[in-house]
Structure 1
Amino acid sequence: MRPQQAPFPATRLRRTRQSEGVRALVRENALSLGDLIWPVFVRSGEGVEEPVPSMPGVYRRSVDKLVDAAREASDLGIGAMCIFPYTGIEDRTEDCAGAWDPENNANRALRAIREAVPDMVLMTDVALDTYNINGHDGFVEDGIIVNDRTVEALVKMALAQADAGADIIGPSDMMDGRIAAIRAGLEGARHSDVMIMSYAAKYASAFYGPFRDAVGASGALTGDKKTYQMDYANSNEAIRLIERDLREGADMVMVKPGMPYLDICHRVKSSFGAPTFAYQVSGEYSMVKAAAQNGWIDEDRVMMESLMGFKRAGCDGVLTYFAPAVARLMNG
């Protein structure tokens, strides 16, 4: 598209910026509560609401408290949540069997929220890192993260989550072939309506640090994840990964992290037109919170501006820890 306009002074572009009413008339993008997915953390216990020190305002909650949070989120107009489990070192194993245990905290939370807030769209995380003694997303053999054996485990994990009531399966592991395998598993188990939002372009990023604290993976992780997560210098590779995962049966795709990768979001949406999401990850959230707590920025304004950046880049939605704050602000 090439805009046509008369030369100055017939065209004065400031005319359409002169008041809030006029600016609203010509605004190109809008953010709604329907664009938000709220990531939350579940842990064992009862009546527990434990702050995550590196993520001000974020908590690890026991299932009963997470149900309360889901009710509040629904009342605020938030329609989707993504559940991540916190697992202590003492509960992690090399075989990662807790990942597909029907009674693990994530699956218990799915069933409890589904019963208490039936209309909430529930998304899960599929990767072994929160159950793995070494903190990796896949099995480690002789120092190597193995692909195909991991994929078999991811399918079992996804099926347990679908059985527990997940609407959206979110494979975040970055193993090759896992979307096709999970889709086949879901179809075979008569979960044909369960959606897959693939973390298709997930970069090996330093922005994940606070999240790893939140799920108990910081102390567990040995080495790094660069043999399976993407090199942050690459853009064309992201397009290849997105195309592959769509061909394998992903319903939606995600770019992670968010703001440093808006160029990738734009390329993905422009190239494929598929439902495209971004994850405004823990490091992005915590930087805004820390700067606001020091009085260096206006938290609400930066929060809203950052989220509008995702919409402007072409995202259909955003996973963000700011979701409750955004809802309260938008609700007045």
Structure 2
Amino acid sequence: MKKRKITGVLAATLLMGTILAACGKEEASSTKGGGTKQEEPKYTFRLADNQPPDYPTVVGDKKFAELVEERTNGRIKIDVFPSAQLGDEKSVLEQVQLGAIEFTRINASPLAEFNNQFTALGLPYVFESEEHLWNFLNGEMGTKLLDGLEQSKMKGLAYYDSGSRNFYSTKPLKSVKDLKGQKIRVQQSKINIDFMEALGASATPMPYGEVFSALQTGIIDGAENNLPSIDSSNHYQEAKNLILDHHQRIPEVLLISKAAWDKLSEKDQKIIKQAALDSVKTQREEWDKWEERSTKKLEDAGVVFTEVKDIQPWKNAVKSMVDSYSKDYKEVIEAIDKARP
């Protein structure tokens, strides 16, 4: 009897285990079939930016992160690291390609190394106004440029505003003729060096962080950048002459690592992409505020502003240079022409 009782208990235990196991398999299979909701994966990502915490691009980054967290009910969190905390642009970009950092915000110029069609955006005077630029960026070719980065293990999500670039110098700047012979700091790229030569200036490539001391010591006469950068870098303290020729309107780009993108569900990809696009409004509004504040700050500091009323002499000076580059980027140049307001 005793032996039979133990056997019965054992049989009952085995039967219960079989039932529970069967239930587990059914739950798993019903999850695949959409019957039982499976818990969606949680992520904590990092977003690198080399600008200070209150800079317009960082404000845009934070809005993007806020929208993603809100729309995923906290399931996807993006921590924003400003002030180059995760490294300079070049090293961060390499880490994004490797998937070690998931997001970054970078100027479009260096992206020409990965998709050479971005080079066309840096050609001088190709965009006549802010409206012209955004007509292009929001069009089919703007999207195509972003998507073209996927072969380099990253994906473009959205464009941010970076205003227009203008010349500033320790010497007077009233016309294109005044640039002749001046030593102007430029970013290290062939297009910028050729641009300076076309204007009769002497191109002096150097790291951004060395510009202030180079202006102080006379190694360079001037440089070129957007107004908020001239403000935040304190370059205006040394270079009191500013000419608003708006020679380049190169946007910023919000990127995600292809490795991070590929592990997201289609639903999460859509959330990330739309949040990036929706953050642009906040970033552009902040940019406009910064430009206004920077203009007042520079004027109060005694910077002499000269607005170029006739841009044609500037365009004439660089025409052969622009034409020679345009041959390699016909499709992009055509799209830029079609985007004119």
TM-score by length of 1: 0.26
Q: Which of 1 and 2 has higher RCO (CA within 8 Å, sep 6+)?
A: 2
Structure number with bigger Rg: 2
| Larger helix percent | 2
